[in-house]
Structure 1
Amino acid sequence: MMKRAWIILILVSAVLQSGCRSPSKGQTDREFQPAGNGGRAYFWDKDLRPTVAKLPASRSRSRAPAAAPAVAAPAAAQPQAEPVVKATVEPAREPAAPPVVMTASTEPLQPMGSGLRPPASEKVTPLGRIVSVDESGGHVLSFTYPRSDFGIMQVDKTMPEEVRLNTAFSYVIRVSNLTEAMLTDITITETVSKDFQFSASEPTAQMQGNKLVWEIESLGPRANRSIRISGVATSSRPLEQLTAITHTIRDSAIVKVVEPTLALRKIAPAEALLCEPIQVDFIVTNTGTGAAQNVQIVDNLPAGIQTADGKGKVVLEAGTLAAGESRRFSVKLRANRIGAYMSKAMATSAVGLKAESEATTTNVRQPVLTIAKSGPKRQYLGRPVSYEITVFNKGDGPAQNTIVEDIIPPGVAGIEATTGAQFSGSKLIWELGTLEPNTSKKVRVSYTPAREGELMASATASAYCAEPVTDSVKTAITGIAAVRLEVVDLEDPVEVGGTTTYTITVSNEGSAADGNIRIVCLLDDKLQYVSSAGATAGSLLGKSVSFAPLRTLEPKAKATWRVVVKGLQAGDARFKATMYTDQLALPVESMEATHIYR
């Protein structure tokens, strides 16, 4: 609401040509205010007529603590003015009060109608006072509106005691805001006497005939504004300068207008593995003003993905969101199969607010491993058996932390493996890291069997979020007989008629036993059979000595036979031994030479 206040202040200025008026008899209820030594004082009688009294001369200066309150004239005695309305909400119109009026005159002021005269039962309050007198003889007249005990605005008018004819002088009007609020649209109008020739003002005034007008747009809390007016008295008559002030007090009814607005953000991973939960975050924010009540978030999930409790829809209650407030929710989802899952969420409120998030797409992938282990189907005992293990990711997701484990078969005498293999109990372990889709890695291992039989080699590959896979290879381990025939004469050379002994040794250096080992010896014409002995019995047939078959010769075993002969004639004699076994497809022969001399 805006009110335009008008107040009347009758202020008598000390621009006097001669002495002061003495108080008349009977004026017992008059008000008296000293203005200072050497100045003047004003009195108000019961008829509200101010008079001026000369004070004793003194150079000391005094100030009254405050201006006396004024009596506002009844509204009926003054003209009315329409208020200025400057509010968005149309206020009720009220009649305005008269303006503040301050005058300076040498003549007593007459009552301005019966409306200014208070009832006999009320105490008369003066309309204005001199509150100080400066050292030069000037005086300050002040008025507080609307009452001295409830002041909004104070007007101080500093006037000289007297001025010289046709000599420039100046006086000051100061307006002060006594409140902690902003006063606006203040208009100060100074109506100057016809005997006053205006020359200048600071700030510059608007001239409207014999009126000087200043407009103050606003006056801050406890602030003041001063106006200095300069001119010349053109007549010896007393000057009467009238000051009128109007202002606007703004009183507005404020209705807070709010507009809550929702914003929703959905955060989901671009990719996820089938085996792991998918965390989705929802952030709802009230980006407007005022509270948004009963806010709810709903996300209808696509087929193939669901909440942790098996539901196909996410429903979140955010409650009431104050202006600028956000709330975050995290939800764990799980996919039933691989694929791309897209959805967007909606946030709503009790009053129909809506906000839709941007659609998010999560590609659910899965690594799928295969393993292949290759090696020989058969190998001889004691020979290393080499295996190659290949792991392949045929899925569409990365196989993280891929591991290959190979079980060490029993009966192994030696192990060799590619770099990176680690022993862990009865296993060899390779850590291969991440195997991207459609890529493979290979490792190798060799085992040396220590016995005949079947060698079972089994390998397993596993990775994060991938099913483990296993492959095995069986290798038949067989021994091999490796017999060696050796013939040595113990005496060489031999004199004619002397004897020497041939030693026949058969060694099995293989990994398997050999059987039916048979030795046949042949003597040339320079030698004569004497005797034989050994692992089996021998018999002579002509120049040939045959030993009965040896049934079995185990690996690393030896069998020995001996044949004693006599030298018949000088020269180089030859002794030949032939060996037959089950493992040998062809016989093995060994010949020893002996020198016979006379």
Structure 2
Amino acid sequence: MKVWLRLVRGMRGWVVTGWIVALAVAFSWAQMVPGEMAEYSEPPLIEPPQSPQPPHSPRPPFMPPPPTPLPPEQAAPFAPALAPVGPSSEWGEMIGGANRLAPPTPVVQLHVRAPAQVSPDREIEYRLTVENVSSAPAHHVLVRDRLPRGVDKNIRAEPKATEQKKTKDGDTDLLWDLGTVKPGEQKVIVLAIKPKGNEDVQNRAYVQFEYGQKVTTRIAKPGVRVKTTAPPLAIRYEAVSFQIEVANTGAAPLRNVVVTDELPVALEFVSGKPEPHADKPLTWKLGDVPPYQIRRIEYQAISKQTGTFRNNVKVTAAGGVSAADSAGVTVGEAKLKISISAPQRRLVNRPVPYHITVGNVGSVPLTNVQVSDELPPGGVAFVSASSGGRREGGFARWSLGNLKPGELRSLLVVLRMPTPGRYRNAVQVQASYSPAERADGNIEAKARSEETRIESARVPVLEIDKNTDWLVVGQKAIYTIRLFNPGKDNVLHPSVLVEVPNEMSIIAVRGESTGQQRGQKVFFDPVKVLDGGEEKAYTIEVEAKKAGEAKLRAWWTDGRQE
């Protein structure tokens, strides 16, 4: 009994406390300004109502008409459908499930903001925000706003509507053509209208856009490409190899492939792999070539003429497929020439000059040109050699390197004969050429000089030397005339007379005495004395004027003769 009394007393205390709190809250509410709660309960902008018109409105609920599709010619470019290459792009796999590589789909949202309540004499401003929230562009974006009935005709819109038109029901639609909205892009339209009465105003806005895909299905078809190759340089009377490559560049077989090659008349067919089915023109029937495969033809021909020739190749196949190509080859000739000249007479133990001329008279470059001069027997002494010549045993040798077609090289070797007699000198030249078909080929040429008579004398003699054995019109040369006294007796007042051939013109004269030119002749004044064993030297520089064989002559006199 005591326990229950304690519980009752406790409950009474809690009840009294609750009444006190309730009275305090009621007193605080009584102090608030009327209308303050309504102001806090309404935000400045709210979403437009999504429900139909209120029950008290006489108009039926508004049902937006379906968007009008745009004509095909205004459709935006379609994004290509990405399908995996190979078997995964076949119909069977695409039907079995969604294409995992499909491009993203655009998503466009429309947000309309409007005041919840305005005074009857104020305009209502709407903010229509169009936003592309996807990663794909949306094309031909069109915003349509159906104006409420019972509003003022003076409408403010920024930007201005693209079009304004009436519907069948008498409503007015404002249209904004926004074009393409890029991913993440926003576009805002501000629309302000002014109601005429006291009825609530409902405004409806819509957005539509276009999105599509374009796919391409390729039809397999064959393609042909032909390539003809030939060496750029070939040698006359040597085999030349030609290669023909026929490639099917398409995804379908190439049927009934025929190759024809119009070989130039100067080239004669020798053999082929495979062998042709006909030779005028050369014809190969290759049959069918699978997709992306290559067929090769190789054949050899010999040219009996020099010059540049071109053979034309054509490939045809079923369905009108064809291709053509050509290749050119220059046929040249490897040819060497060598000559050697020597004086007709010389004294014993006097220098004997031999002029050697090496020329590439062919039409192909020559390499590794080697010249050798086998010294005459009988104790002949090697004195000197020009252009890097050297003595190797009983030979004088030169390494000339390369010779271009038409190029000439002049060499000089000087020997000394110890005994009287008749001597001849033999020279040889070897060179290589490089046809494209095989390893280097070799050619050679030989020459032998005229006899040189070596003799003894006791009276003065003239020796004529020249710095070159060949001259081209316009080139210059120097002749050296030596007056040598091999005896022991002195010769008084000797003079020298030189006659230059008409094929040359005299440029300059020099010597032990003054030279006087008279036409094509040069008279050198006498010297006082020519001692035994002494020599006097005179030089004449000339220039070649016209082609031909030219000989320069010289005499000496002791001053007692005219």
Q: Structure 1 length as normaliser, TM-score? A: 0.45
Structure with a larger share of its residues in helix: 2
Tell which structure's C-alpha radius of gyration is larger. Answer: 1
Hey, which of these two has a bigger chunk of strand by percent?
Answer: 1
TM-score normalised to structure 2 length: 0.47
